[in-house]
Structure 1
Amino acid sequence: MDYQNQSGFRLRKLQPKVRMRGTSMDPNDPSPLFDDTSAGVYKHDYRGVGKGPGAYPGQAFLSEPMSNLTMAYSSSLVSHGKEMMDKNLDRFIPISKLKYYFAVDTVYVGKKLGLLVFPYMHQNWEVSYQQDTPVAPRFDINAPDLYIPVLGFITYILVAGLALGTQNQFSPEILGIQASSALVWLIIEVLAVLLSLYLVTVNTDLTTIDMVAFSGYKYVGMIVGVVAGLLFGRTVYYLTLLWCCASIFVFMIRTLRLKILSEAAAEGRLVQAAKNQLRMYLTMAIAAAQPVFMYWLTFHLVRW
């Protein structure tokens, strides 16, 4: 701002320079009062909570323990849920026992199939034990298994579909009816055997799974008979099925007599002769039922 004094000279009033805090008005000034750290304020590393230079105090201290606690609690919850599920599942479905019936290998399956089709030369039918526990099927050909029955049931359904297709009768509905019928008859057979064992009061180590395994072996003969009939005609079907029926009858007699009749022999004189005869008749009835089911479930599949 200019003004004139008494001598006539014009004077300029000097304005004080205002220096802003934190910066220098002179661009050439090499030494600011302090460095600009605004770029680091509130800087946050999203790869980890509280790792940035501007993180809140205690944030890094709280984040890591909370993460570890959450992971530990989640792992504990998952393991506890798995334990409860296995415990409740094993109550209704004996998973540990089922593992025993599927403990097979290729050698066992081949020998067992040969035994089911040609059991006449086999001598030793006793199941081997190790410390009062039966050995796994892959180590003993006489041990019952579920691998062959399950695989035989599925193969029988597929072969039945093929046979119905050659007759121009195939449809998903008919194939479902065929599978349901075979399954229902298997359940009826097993329940009838268990009821008969209960009524005759037979003390045996036969279990429900054992009976399912023994009843499921007949599907092997059924498959062989149907395939032979599809390839060579109905006469060959009857001859092949007759052989397989006789084989499964002998197999069941020689297998079940050690489970049912051996208890009667152990009791000796304490058991009446009539009760012993009932056990013998029951064994023969179970064995004789196998050929009946084999014919009933296959005769309509071969027409020529």
Structure 2
Amino acid sequence: MDPQMGHRPSAQARMRGPPQESQLFDDTSQAPQGMHNSGMPMQQPGYNMPPGQFPGSNLMADPMANMAMQYGQSLAGQGKEMFEKNVDKYISVSKLKYYFAVDTNYVAKKLFLISFPFTHQEWSVQYQQDNPVAPRFDVNAPDLYIPVMAYVTYLLLAGISLGMTNKFTPEELGIQASSALVWLAIEVAIIVFSLYLVNARTDLSTWDVLAFTGYKYVGMIAIIICGFLFHSYGYWIALAYTSISIGYFLVKSLRLKILPHTATDGFGQSGGTRRMYLTFVIALIQPFFMFWLTRHLAGTSAQ
């Protein structure tokens, strides 16, 4: 054989053809790493887990993870308790809930009482185990729901009035809202300071004073609406009537709340006389605030 011709496969080798795929890897030592002889991937360490689980799902069963979660919940509870204590220093949430314990029946009766108090006979507040009952059970109990809703309605009417005179802007409405709040705060401060000044023993709280003085917004709503409908005549008639009604309501309600400290005090006046003086002053300042906060909202002719 000529050495330059090279090696030629025999006829028997040419008849067998190319090697089959099964002959390429005739044992496991020749298979690529991570593959069975059948070509399927082998399971690697860490993948042998029950169906439906994922890596890290057993973290919740870790005692350290549970301890950390319990510690976090404890911190959250302590933070909530600290927040409630700090809030209670300034605002008693439990007491504040009392003034919003109302229902539809109470609101209707209270609005009627504020608007037409002259026929009402019983003005004392009901008590249960030395605590006043919730407003929804006693129409004479003070609440903050009606003052808040009346204040919001007053602002809506103020926006309508400003729009009718082409003066509406968000800034102007904000001035109306802040002005009403400032005057209300001044009024409450005057009353509370007067109670301290005359040394009158009373079970009136600051929230009670805020509730009673906030009822005048019901009359202010009627004043503005009458000013819209009947102009200056309607405005002045509504102002006169609501001033009388809210004054009568406050005198009847507060005279049972403001109690004299003793039969006679250091000023030489009877406690009952001082009580009546104070209630009359509170009633008489209501028309001033009602006029001051509505004079520019019921039309230029009412100013």
Distance in 2 (alpha carbons) for counterparts of 1:80 and 1:44: 42
Listed one character per residue, the Cα deviations across residues 123-173 of structure 1 (whole Å, up to 9, x for unaligned) are: 000000000000000000000000011111111111111112111221111
Return the structure number with greater relative CO, CA threshold 8 A, min gap 6. 2
Give the letter aligned to residue 154 of structure 2.
Y
Give secondary structure in 1 for the equivalent of 2:80.
Answer: helix
Distance in 1 (alpha carbons) for counterparts of 2:221 and 2:284: 19
Give the letter aligned to residue 47 of structure 2.
K
Computed over aligned residues only, the root mean square deviation of the Cα atoms, in angstroms, reads 2.6
Distance in 2 (alpha carbons) for counterparts of 1:100 and 1:50: 48
How many equivalent pairs are there?
264
Listed one character per residue, the Cα deviations across residues 236-276 of structure 1 (whole Å, up to 9, x for unaligned) are: 1211221111100000100111112x436xx3367743554
1:228 aligns with 2:235: no
1:23 aligns with 2:28: yes
Compute the displacement of 1:182 (Å): 0.8
Compute the displacement of 1:39 (Å): 2.1
Distance in 2 (alpha carbons) for counterparts of 1:161 and 1:188: 23
Alignment-derived partner of residue 243 in structure 1: 241
After TM superposition, list the pairs within 5 Å mapping 1:171-186 onto structure 2.
Answer: 171-186=169-184
Give the letter aligned to residue 298 of structure 2.
V
Distance in 2 (alpha carbons) for counterparts of 1:78 and 1:90: 18
Alignment-derived partner of residue 256 in structure 2: 258
Distance in 2 (alpha carbons) for counterparts of 1:41 and 1:108: 72
Listed one character per residue, the Cα deviations across residues 175-205 of structure 1 (whole Å, up to 9, x for unaligned) are: 1111111111101111111111111000101
- 8 A Cα contact 2:223 2:239, kept in partner: yes
Distance in 1 (alpha carbons) for counterparts of 2:55 and 2:233: 79
Give secondary structure in 2 for the equivalent of 1:263.
Answer: coil
Query: Taking structure 1 as the reference length, what is the TM-score of the superposition?
Result: 0.80
Structure 2 unaligned residues grouped into runs of 5+: 1-24, 31-36
Distance in 2 (alpha carbons) for counterparts of 1:78 and 1:44: 38
Distance in 2 (alpha carbons) for counterparts of 1:182 and 1:23: 90
Listed one character per residue, the Cα deviations across residues 16-67 of structure 1 (whole Å, up to 9, x for unaligned) are: xxxx9x8377xxxxxx9xxx9952324266724386xxxxxxxx8x962122
Distance in 1 (alpha carbons) for counterparts of 2:57 and 2:274: 82
1:40 aligns with 2:47: no
After TM superposition, list the pairs within 5 Å mapping 1:50-65 onto structure 2.
Answer: 64-65=62-63
Query: Taking structure 2 as the reference length, what is the TM-score of the superposition?
Result: 0.80
- 8 A Cα contact 1:104 1:147, kept in partner: yes
Distance in 2 (alpha carbons) for counterparts of 1:241 and 1:270: 37
1:165 aligns with 2:160: no
